[in-house]
């Protein structure tokens, strides 16, 4: 981890990188592999890395979120992650899980089929990563620290990038535009990753049909489309056949957002090999409009798991525990009304009216070492207040979170769990909420707009072939229902994958040091050998809002 000078948009700035690369290096593994990564921190900031979508069976020590499963890696220190792959296959990604450093510290993970097996579709001729990210002319760490100190919104990004390049439509950017060079008649696999901090994105290739075959490290039934919509934190495996007249075609992406943070468009070029006269300007795709909710919904509601003999699914048909969680953007009063948020308050966010406070000691070590006073286990299983969550005007009574605290939700081992994430219109935020669950994948069994109805909405659940994901986009002023089996003991984070962090921080240094590999191995052995022990049969899902 080190700071590196990069020149984009006519100016040079220092950014945090891995091995001097933006995006960082791709990791190539096969299904079921174990990968060991040593992170040496040569930068001036604390850092952790998270392996987004890797379940890490019985290995929460290497999951990565700071103050949840580890203390951050201090400047000058190093930490070795043991990354255990299990059932994942397809595209995943890794990223920093500390402050806003993930804006530039991230990269793809390609999980290939096990030796002796193959894809559930004809093997593509080649593959290209399509890593979308945010670019800021300013120092992203200073931007988020300024927002946290003043209580206001962070500055919006200055550009989006594809594989580190903004593309032809931005100043001083045309020479570096990423080019995917293709042969006529061949099929290519695009490994698409939305590493952007805040925006859901529409993406398309001019004049070409896209076939989505996987997402979040699991296969889906092939879905033909002219565009995709991908939420922050999600990945998609997309096939595209080079079957148009040899030329240059734009691959372009722009935001889908009711509340647009960055309304610019990033581009790459789909360039055919061969002898032809290149066009003055490549053909441009017909992208949906920024606010085209119908286009977004029509796309995302078509996902269905492949559910084949080779790639089976196991959807809980009944549940032991249903949990309903409201997601809100809130405000917290400041001394002398001195903050930059609405009504001179500080912006915050909450789950079930609780705004997460970062502990002084990471929760996993506190749990493992039985340390008292670090967290509470009384996270509510339903909202403390029932009101019209998605009303056009929500009363000011709900603006301020009821509790600022470190709360965990305890689940019994092997329980079948349903979580309904309910968006709210508190503060008229018009926000989408990409919710990511560490340590598990889950089945998205239903979603909709308005308030979730406990009597009628479950009747429309897909319990036959729902898509298996690790990050779900909760619709603006809507809800999404997920199901999973709590079969992976540990301390696991449930968080909003957007980068605008309004969580409260204690500001203290994590004092216990790092869980070493011996601790991790002992955790795995003890979990297996004393499976009847209640504290190991009850994995902690730490539910915190970091929207």
The whole-number pLDDT of residue 144 equals 80
Mean pLDDT to the nearest integer, 222-229: 98
23: cis peptide before it, omega within 30°?
A: yes
Mean pLDDT to the nearest integer, 293-313: 97
Per-residue pLDDT at 536 exceeds 50: no
The whole-number pLDDT of residue 519 equals 46
The pairing of strands 218-225 and 248-256 is unpaired
Per-residue pLDDT at 531 exceeds 50: no
DSSP codes of every residue in 485-528: E--S-SEEEEEE--S----EE--PPP-S----HHHHHHHHHHHH
Per-residue pLDDT at 151 exceeds 90: no
Q: Which two tokens stand for residue 87?
A: 């059932």
The whole-number pLDDT of residue 317 equals 97
Q: What is the 3-state secondary structure (H, E, C) of 250-302?
A: EEEEEEECCCCCCCCEEEEEEEECCCCCCCCCCECCCCCCCCCHHHHHHHHCC
User: Mapping DSSP to helix (H, G, I), strand (E, B) and coil, where does residue 457 land?
Assistant: helix
Distance CA 253, CA 267 (A): 6
Mean pLDDT to the nearest integer, 530-545: 37
DSSP codes of every residue in 353-395: TEEEEE-SS-HHHHHHTT-TTS-BS---SS-SS-S-TT-SS--
What digits encode the pLDDT tens for the residues 483-500?
Answer: 999 999 999 999 886 543
What digits encode the pLDDT tens for the residues 312-357?
Answer: 999 999 999 999 999 998 888 888 888 888 888 888 889 999 998 8
The whole-number pLDDT of residue 507 equals 36
The whole-number pLDDT of residue 516 equals 42
Mean pLDDT for all residues in the chain: 89
The whole-number pLDDT of residue 336 equals 81
The whole-number pLDDT of residue 543 equals 53
The whole-number pLDDT of residue 432 equals 81
Per-residue pLDDT at 541 exceeds 80: no
Distance CA 243, CA 349 (A): 47
Per-residue pLDDT at 173 exceeds 70: yes
Distance CA 383, CA 50 (A): 29
Per-residue pLDDT at 147 exceeds 90: no
Per-residue pLDDT at 504 exceeds 50: no
Q: How many CB atoms lie within 10 A of CB 464?
A: 12
Per-residue pLDDT at 530 exceeds 70: no
Report pTM.
Answer: 0.93
Per-residue pLDDT at 505 exceeds 90: no
What digits encode the pLDDT tens for the residues 362-374?
Answer: 999 999 999 999 9
The whole-number pLDDT of residue 259 equals 60
Mean pLDDT to the nearest integer, 113-124: 96
């Amino acid at each position: 981890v080190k700071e590196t000078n990069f020149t984009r948009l006519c100016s040079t700035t220092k950014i945090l990188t891995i091995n001097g690369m933006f995006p960082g290096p791709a990791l190539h593994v096969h299904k079921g592999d174990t990968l060991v990564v040593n992170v040496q921190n040569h930068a001036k900031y604390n850092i952790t890395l998270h392996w987004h979508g890797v379940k890490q069976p019985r290995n929460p020590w290497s999951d990565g979120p700071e103050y949840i499963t580890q203390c951050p890696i201090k400047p000058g220190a190093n930490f070795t992650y043991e990354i255990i792959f299990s059932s994942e296959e397809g595209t995943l990604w890794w990223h920093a899980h500390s402050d806003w450093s993930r804006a530039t510290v991230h990269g793809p993970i390609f999980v290939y089929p096990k030796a002796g097996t193959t894809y559930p579709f004809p093997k593509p001729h080649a593959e290209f990563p399509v890593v979308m990210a945010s670019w800021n002319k300013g120092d992203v760490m200073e931007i988020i620290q300024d927002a946290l100190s003043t209580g206001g919104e962070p500055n919006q990004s200055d550009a989006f990038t594809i594989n580190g390049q903004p593309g032809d439509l931005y100043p001083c950017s045309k020479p570096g535009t990423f080019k995917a060079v293709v042969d006529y008649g061949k099929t290519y696999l695009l490994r698409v990753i939305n590493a952007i901090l805040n925006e859901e994105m529409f993406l398309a290739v001019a004049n070409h049909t896209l076939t989505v075959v996987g997402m979040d490290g699991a296969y889906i039934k092939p879905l033909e489309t002219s565009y995709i919509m991908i939420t922050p934190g999600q990945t998609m495996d997309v096939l595209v056949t080079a079957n148009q007249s040899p030329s240059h075609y734009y691959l372009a992406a722009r935001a889908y957002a009711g509340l647009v943070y960055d309304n610019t468009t990033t581009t790459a070029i789909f360039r055919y090999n061969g002898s032809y006269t290149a066009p003055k300007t490549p053909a441009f795709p017909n992208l949906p409009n920024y606010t085209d909710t119908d286009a977004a919904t029509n796309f995302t509601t078509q996902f269905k798991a492949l559910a084949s003999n080779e790639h089976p699914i196991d959807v809980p048909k009944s549940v032991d525990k249903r949990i309903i969680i409201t997601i809100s953007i809130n405000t917290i009063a400041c001394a002398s009304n001195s903050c930059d948020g609405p009504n001179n308050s500080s912006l915050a966010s909450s789950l079930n009216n609780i705004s997460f406070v970062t502990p002084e000691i990471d929760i996993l070590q506190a749990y493992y070492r039985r340390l008292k006073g670090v967290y509470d286990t009384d996270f509510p299983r339903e909202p403390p207040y029932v009101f019209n969550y998605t009303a056009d005007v929500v009363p000011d009574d709900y603006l301020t979170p009821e509790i600022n605290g470190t709360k965990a939700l305890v689940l019994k081992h092997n329980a079948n769990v349903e979580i309904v994430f309910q968006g709210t219109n508190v503060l008229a935020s018009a926000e989408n909420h990409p919710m990511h669950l560490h340590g598990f994948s889950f089945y998205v069994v239903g979603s909709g707009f308005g308030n979730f109805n406990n009597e009628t909405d479950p009747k429309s659940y897909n319990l036959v072939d729902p898509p298996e994901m690790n990050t779900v986009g909760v619709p603006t002023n809507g809800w999404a229902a997920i199901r999973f089996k709590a079969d992976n003991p540990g301390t696991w984070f449930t968080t909003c994958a957007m980068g605008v962090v309004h969580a409260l921080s204690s500001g203290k240094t994590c004092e216990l040091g790092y869980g070493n590999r011996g601790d991790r191995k002992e955790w795995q052995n003890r979990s297996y050998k004393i499976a009847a022990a209640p504290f190991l049969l009850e994995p902690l899902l730490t539910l915190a809002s970091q929207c």
